[in-house]
Amino acid sequence: MKNKYSIFSLIKNAFSQHENWKQAWGDPEPKREYEAIIIGGGGHGLATAYYLAKKHNMRNIAVLEKGWIGGGNTGRNTTIIRSNYLWDASAGLYDHALKIWENLSQELNYNIMFSQRGVMNLAHNLQDVRDLKRRTHANRLNGIDAVWLNTDQVKEFCPIINTSPDIRYPVLGGTLQRRAGTARHDAVAWGYARGADEMGVDIIQNCEVKGIKRNGDKVEGVETSKGFIKTKKIGVVAAGHSSVIANMAGIKLPLESKPLQALVSEPVKPIIDTVVMSNAVHAYVSQSDKGELVIGAGTDAYVSYTQRGSHDVVEGTLKAILELYPIFSRMKMLRQWGGIVDICPDASPIISKTNIKGLYFNCGWGTGGFKATPGSGDLFAHTIANDEPHKLNAAFNLNRFVSGDLVDEHGAAAVAH
Amino acid sequence: MFLINCPYCGERDQSEFSCGGEAHIVRPKQPTELSDDQWAEYLFMRKNIKGVQFERWNHAHGCRKWFNMVRDTSNDKIHAVYKMGEKPPVE
């Protein structure tokens, strides 16, 4: 690695007041032609480019980003990583990602601040208890760590939770995945960008895709705000804007784009050292290393590309947070924002070829894409390079909406958005 | 978040309504004749437009009636509201 980050480089740069660090990735102008083009410079897109270069030796590739890298949903999520999904296909997909997360800082030589602080999912009624117990059994059969905690154990694991039986939705227990946790979202995009750039990938920011050029049933290139770029393979990783790109190519996707909101509080001293999610009352909270509470709210129930979302959704989430954590009643919220998430009818992603040769889609991650970033990039790169899905993403093909072989994680995922 | 002018009740907060998704998707006349591709198109495939979109809404916490709406999804601006069965306005 040209500029390996280490304790020595840190000390060396301290002598020059940290003013001489080299740029971590370049700012190239697009070439006239590439072997493959990735549309979307978020975590998933940059990871795709990184693994295309690293594992499949495709170096003449570009990532096109209409804004700045990591400025979309990568910079807007609540950074939670877990793999405790019910169905075998999902368990395989998300645990593949979790295993990559565990060594990602070392692999990228970039501190992504991966913290396996555990994710706890609460049960508030008898059906929750049954569903979550069933899920822990399914997880363990798939080799994913999961345990069931009763109410006392929940209280012991996270003492600030109100476990009184008198509250509207009492805590009847919960599941815990100890290998789950959080990572620094920006660092993930930056680490992958630096790694990809070093292998010769062109990361082109402020370059909006305006059209997909097709010749019959194969792609020929993309029209962009920086001119036409020729290519035979296009990987679309545009999250909430996937349908917009699909419309350019003349195809339809089974997606609806909706605002998903999150908010952070003022920073306080460490008070919650894990991630607690609650499906039934729709509230989840963790604490960032800066000390802010990071709170995830729900999606608006209508299509919108405005990155804000409705006030009543935030209000509902905060009501639930306050009932579960009365200690937070005087906390002030500092910032609130929305990201546009592309939701599939079965709440599972699409990592797939299309009927158009050379056009691939990685979309439909909906409300939970961040956790899958490394695995998604790895499997999508495999799909693009070989023109065939990897066995771990074979179930997540576009054709499942025709065959009916859906991966229905809607109620089965730990949080039903 | 926005206000919706219900054709029956007048202007109300959006939180009183629920959205029924893309409008004017016609239920197949002869379901038994449909191929798998046609079923997928009817059930799952959506335009999901960034811009002016036609959609169905229900005044769930009000008169509970369904109606259609023309809304720009890039800025949540509502261009028209019209009753079920009425012809969609031409922009």
* pLDDT tens for each residue of A40-58: 999 999 999 999 999 999 9
Interface residues from chain A to B (CB-CB < 8 Å) = 241, 243-244, 247, 252-257, 301-306, 309-312, 342, 345, 401-404
Q: How near does any CA of chain B get to the CA of A257, in Å?
A: 7
The reply to whether B91 falls in a domain is: no
- Cβ neighbors of B66 (< 8 A, separation 6 or more) are B20, B56, B57, B58, B84
Q: What is the mean pLDDT of chain A?
A: 95
Question: How far is it, in rounded angstroms, from Cα A284 to Cα A245?
Answer: 32
Classify the C-alpha dihedral B13-B19-B24-B27 as positive or negative.
negative
Q: Give the pLDDT of residue B1.
A: 78
B48, A303: Cβ pair inside 8 Å? Answer: yes
CB B53 within 8 A of CB B77: no
Closest by alpha carbon to B85, among B45, B60, B56?
B56
Question: How far is it, in rounded angstroms, from Cα A140 to Cα B73?
Answer: 42
Residue A258 tokens read as: 């909706």
The reply to whether B58 falls in a domain is: yes
Q: Is the pLDDT of residue A414 over 60?
A: no
**DSSP structure class, residue A250:** T
Question: How far is it, in rounded angstroms, from Cα A67 to Cα A288?
Answer: 26
**DSSP structure class, residue A90:** H
What average pLDDT does the segment B5-18 reach?
A: 96
Q: Give the pLDDT of residue A415.
A: 53
A256, B41: Cβ pair inside 8 Å? Answer: no
The reply to whether B12 falls in a domain is: yes
Q: Choose from A244, A305, A315 for mutation: most chain B CBs within 10 A.
A: A305
What average pLDDT does the segment A172-180 reach?
A: 97
Question: How far is it, in rounded angstroms, from Cα B23 to Cα A23?
Answer: 49
Which single residue is written with the structure tokens 């002016």?
Answer: B52
CB B58 within 8 A of CB B37: no
Question: How far is it, in rounded angstroms, from Cα A53 to Cα A32?
Answer: 19
What average pLDDT does the segment A243-256 reach?
A: 96
Interface residues from chain B to A (CB-CB < 8 Å) = 1, 14-15, 18-19, 21, 36-37, 39-41, 43-50, 53, 55, 73-76
Question: How far is it, in rounded angstroms, from Cα A151 to Cα B46?
Answer: 43
Q: Is the pLDDT of residue A417 over 50?
A: no
Share of chain B above pLDDT 90, in %: 93
Domain housing B54: 3-83
Classify the C-alpha dihedral A145-A148-A154-A157 as positive or negative.
negative
pTM of the predicted structure, to 2 decimals:
0.96
Question: How far is it, in rounded angstroms, from Cα A99 to Cα A363?
Answer: 21
The reply to whether B88 falls in a domain is: no
φ, ψ at A175 (rounded to 5°): -110, 155
A301, A305, A309: residue with CB nearest B73 = A305
Q: Give the pLDDT of residue A2.
A: 66
Residues of chain B neighbouring A306 (CB-CB closer than 8 A)? 73-76
Share of chain A above pLDDT 70, in %: 98
Split into its structural domains, chain B has a count of 1
Share of chain A above pLDDT 90, in %: 94
Instruction: Supply the CATH number for residue B18's domain.
Output: 3.30.2270.10
Q: Which helix (H) or strand (E) holds A151?
A: helix A151-157
Q: How confident is the model at residue A366 (pLDDT cuts 50, 70, 90)?
A: very high
The reply to whether B89 falls in a domain is: no
Q: Is the pLDDT of residue A303 over 90?
A: yes
Q: How near does any CA of chain B get to the CA of A347, in Å?
A: 12
The reply to whether B74 falls in a domain is: yes
The reply to whether B50 falls in a domain is: yes
What average pLDDT does the segment A346-373 reach?
A: 96
Per DSSP, what are the bridge partners of residue A341?
Answer: A258
A402, B37: Cβ pair inside 8 Å? Answer: yes
Residues of chain A neighbouring B40 (CB-CB closer than 8 A)? 254, 401-402
The reply to whether B59 falls in a domain is: yes
- Cβ neighbors of A284 (< 8 A, separation 6 or more) are A78, A80, A275, A276, A277, A278, A295, A296, A415
